[in-house]
Structure 1
Amino acid sequence: MAKITGLGGVFYVVKDPAATRAWYRDVLGLDGEYGPQMNWSEETGDRPYSLISHFADDAYIKPGHGEFMINLRVDDLDSFLTQLAAKGVEVLDSTDEGYGKFAWLLDPDGVKIELWQQVAAPE
């Protein structure tokens, strides 16, 4: 039987797509012909996964604008946060939940970005 194999992308409207793509390229290191692209073949973690999560309200999404956020996997969150600091990017908060490390920032359009380093395979 055919099945869904992963997240294909996140699509949303912004005022200046070229400027937003440049920010993702320059700040997060994500580039591609049609926008920021991530290749699963570069993932080295144990049983990596993507998640579609649902919330009853927008408290977790705030201070982002809109009713969604983008979660991006990162291989070394601490080093990536150091890189962001060198670029003058404000990180809203960070935490280690045991199964993963997280940090949050806003893109230039106010969309909340959650950075996630998976540190344990799912049970």
Structure 2
Amino acid sequence: MAKITGLGGIFYVVEDPEATRAWYRDVLGIDGEYGPQLPWSEETCDKPYSLISHFSDDTYLNPGTAGFMINLRVDDLDGFVAELAAKGIEVLDTADEGYGKFAWLLDPNGVKIELWEQCAPPPS
């Protein structure tokens, strides 16, 4: 039987796509011909996974204004947060939940970005 193998992309409308792509390239370090591309071949974590999560209200997405959030995996959250600070990017908050470390920021369109360093395999 055919099956879903992973997240193929996130597509949304913005006022200035080129400026948004430049922000993702310059601030987050991800680039590609059609927008930021994330090669899974570079993932080194044990049993890496993506998640599609649903919420009954927008509390977790605040202060984002888009009605959705983008979660991006990172290999060294502390180092990445330090790089963001050096670029003058405001990090809204950070947390260590044991299974993962998190940091949050907003992109130039008000989309909340969650950075996630996976620290444990997915729950069974």
TM-score (norm 2): 0.98
Distance 1:67 1:57 in 2: 9
Question: For this pair of structures, how many residues does the alignment match?
Answer: 123
SS for the counterpart of 1:117 is: strand
Q: CA RMSD in A?
A: 0.4
Distance 1:95 1:62 in 2: 16
Question: Structure 1 residue 102: deviation in Å?
Answer: 0.3
- State percent identity of aligned pairs: 78
**Structure 1 equivalent of residue 122 of structure 2:** 122
**Structure 1 equivalent of residue 112 of structure 2:** 112
SS for the counterpart of 1:24 is: helix
SS for the counterpart of 2:103 is: strand
**Structure 1 equivalent of residue 61 of structure 2:** 61
SS for the counterpart of 1:60 is: helix
Distance 2:57 2:67 in 1: 9
The runs of 5 or more residues in structure 2 that have no matched partner are none
Question: Structure 1 residue 66: deviation in Å?
Answer: 1.9
Distance 1:26 1:12 in 2: 20
Matched, 1:32 2:65: no
Distance 1:19 1:45 in 2: 31
Distance 2:65 2:14 in 1: 11
TM-score (norm 1): 0.99
**Structure 2 equivalent of residue 15 of structure 1:** 15
Amino acid at match of 2:44: T
What do residues 6-38 of structure 1 show as CA deviations (whole Å, max 9, x unaligned)?
000000000000000000000000000000000
The runs of 5 or more residues in structure 1 that have no matched partner are none
Amino acid at match of 2:95: T
